Amino acid sequence: MIVTQEYLEVETEALTLVKNIMESKIGIDYCLAKVTLKEDTIAQQKIHAFNKAKSAFEAIEAYGKYAPDYKELNREVRRLKREMDTDEAVYRYRLLETDLQTILDEISLTLAKAVSDTIKVPAGNPFFTTGKSGCSSGGSCGCG
């Protein structure tokens, strides 16, 4: 890629957009929630316990019900996941992360549509349905 003055101007505008997003209420709230989660020792213990149980379960998961302790490990992973997900710091972080992701998806879609209606924009949220993303074959997926 050849770097031109035009490219540098676009890059500068993109960096300004990033700065504006991070200085917005959602950006600030997200960063605070991220720091809060990182510093919350109880939440970190729950995350660590879940990850440890998940790794143990993944080691035997391929063997299914024939593996020793399959059901017990599966239940333990689900219990620890529920415990982690209901932690206030984890919940707040994930909620703000989803809100920020939605904003980023909308910005990506707006930028793509400004260039062309045929540009596909993958969204980080599977429920984000305002954008088009498909195979361009014109088949039954309706993308063409």
Predicted pLDDT at 138: 47
Instruction: Give the pLDDT score at 76.
Output: 97
Give the C-alpha separation, 122 to 128, whole Å.
9
* Domain 5-115 part of CATH 2.40.10.220: no
Helix (H) or strand (E) holding 8: helix 5-23
In angstroms, the CA 132 to CA 49 distance is 39
Tell me how far apart the alpha carbons of residues 79 and 122 are, in angstroms, rounded to a whole number.
32
pLDDT at 71: 94
Cα separation, 72 vs 11, whole angstroms: 52
Q: What is the pLDDT of residue 127?
A: 67
Whether the Cβ atoms of residue 95 and residue 69 lie closer than 8 Å to each other: no
Structural domain boundaries in the chain? 5-115
Note down pLDDT in tens along the chain; length 144 residues: 677 889 899 999 999 999 999 999 999 999 999 999 999 999 999 999 999 999 999 999 999 889 989 999 999 999 999 999 999 999 999 999 999 999 999 999 999 999 898 988 887 767 666 545 555 444 445 554
Count the helix, strand and coil residues of the chain and give each as a percent rounded to the nearest 5: 70, 0, 30
| pLDDT score, position 35 | 98
